[in-house]
Structure 1
């Protein structure tokens, strides 16, 4: 899978996150790769245990607007100063799950035309499924011996536990913001009842720590150019 953006494509695109001294050793992997890892672990129910990473800086020196800019903003007539870049613009990662299955993903903040394209594909023994969060209402199902399918969201055709998270009739696009809304609704329900669900569908502190361990392992893997086990 991948998570692709283009907001750091140009040499004049600058943000404090390019400086490792201010924002930590990773940028693209930490900022958006973290969401991809969390999503794939949640969907598969499996845990990433080992990684092999290759990270790249596309612009070693960026031109920063001396007047300052906001994230995703555009500058007109600006005065720039050179700033060194010490965090990655792009990265590719091979990984292994705890059941022995394998995968790979790419993160980029320099992919022209891609705004927030979190996509994933899972290949199984009987079929494949693929999803793109920029087209969130569609799920592609791939087959070997029959026509492939593109499923669209329709609460009337969903399993009950899934349909409960769809709040509009079919044809109304529900996507990433709606997923956060559903997650927080489940979280507040747990707070209200005072009970943690056996299988929570909202992110826990354990989930957050798990992803941070993955990011740390990815950074170490790139630095040492070898496979690195993810801390438990």
Structure 2
């Protein structure tokens, strides 16, 4: 992937990994446009990063995504990269009633349907330009699922599979397809406590390693930081059952 001179759209750019990646790409001289549902969060990020732009987007809104895609292509015709990062991760108690099904459906709409819909809307434009890239953020839990977040893990496994298929279909075009596979990172994805959890990878360290991989390996297909490799390659290394049991030891 070309690391500067891009016009790059980053979903979920108001906080966490999305914001940190947006700031990293912005610092390299890219035109960055971030999206999110909370205007206040987007405004905070753009105020701290002069020149960065923001547009509101609800990744669960199918018609809204179509309208957004038309508007962003019109406003930023040089758009050549999309980073699908927006996602939610909520604990679910399967079969316990309550709002379990609502959580599951919202997670699927946000984490899986959102990137698919946005890709469908923007790929025709990306394919007309040079140095195009589609980056999808999955998770180490795509490869070793967490039982207390079954739908989140399932959506990330689906993103991995979808990204592989997309990459194959676009292999003879100028559009590069890259998967970024985070481990457990210090963000507020599952609440404020996660941002300071010593068991999680510091966000700055994760971003630094991701950007270094993208810089050093311009043709990379999967960005897997060292800390995530035990999860990503658990099946290949014959450790899947042990890793699954270890991750889920606190929940039976």
TM-score using structure 2 length: 0.23
| Bigger Rg over Cα | 1
Give the number of the structure whose residues are more often strand, by fraction.
1
TM-score using structure 1 length: 0.24
Give the number of the structure whose residues are more often helix, by fraction.
2
- Higher relative contact order by CA 8 Å / sep ≥ 6: 1 or 2? 1
